[in-house]
Amino acid sequence: MEDLTCAFTGHRPSSYKFGYDEEHPDCCKLKALMTLQIVSLIENGVTTFLSGMALGADIWGAEIVLACKKKYPQKNIRLIAALPCESQADRWSVEQRERYFNILEECDETVYLSRHYTRDCMFRRNRWLIDHANFVLAVYNGSAKGGTAYTVNYAHEKKRAVIIIDPDTLRVLPYTIRVNNDL
């Protein structure tokens, strides 16, 4: 049986109406929706999750997967961090960096797309995530520009199954499963 994989993508928290307030009811609802989708993916055979470890949806997705690994040890769930460069978290707050490095310690694997920051390392990370995924869980408001828009469009180009949670309406948008088996 093929190992099914899901990648995360999403806007940075500064673009959400609740910002960085993770106690805000809408942020709690968003994380609950992400959890429901991740559990559903696991129940349908996804065993490997890919996180670019950016602030927001990437970090939340990784934390949810780590909780699922503990809750469902029989599922052999794996978490892989795909990092754009070694300095990704250098400018983050102390609390954000601690959270980031604590997650990295629990990852099954870490992939660095570049040792040092380059102008395109984030886009290369995003392409790597999609190139290695069957499914994409995107926290995406439909905006036409930015890294999340690029990643969602690239996923559609690659005919990946894209699950979109709109952070503004807190609705899961319908999707069609188009699994590409020639990964």
Is the full-model pTM beyond 0.85?
A: yes
Q: Where are the domains of the chain?
A: 4-173
| The listed CATH number (3.40.50.450, 3.90.170.10, 3.40.50.300, 3.40.50.150) that belongs to domain 4-173 | 3.40.50.450
pLDDT at 173: 87
Contact indicator for 53, 100 with CB cutoff of 8 Å: yes
Q: How confident is the model at residue 43 (pLDDT cuts 50, 70, 90)?
A: very high
User: 3-state DSSP call for residue 140?
Assistant: coil
The strand ranges marked E within 41-129 are 46-51, 78-83, 109-112
Q: How confident is the model at residue 178 (pLDDT cuts 50, 70, 90)?
A: very low
**Residue 179 clears pLDDT 80, i.e. is over it:** no
pLDDT digits (tens, 9 = 90+) for 95-153: 999 999 999 999 999 999 999 999 999 999 999 999 999 999 999 998 888 899 999 99
The strand ranges marked E within 101-160 are 109-112, 135-139
**Residue 177 clears pLDDT 90, i.e. is over it:** no
Alpha-carbon gap, residue 20 to 99, rounded angstroms: 14
pLDDT digits (tens, 9 = 90+) for 61-96: 999 999 999 999 999 999 999 999 999 999 999 999
Token couple for 53: 């470890």
Dihedral sign, CA of 90, 92, 93, 95?
negative
pLDDT at 175: 66
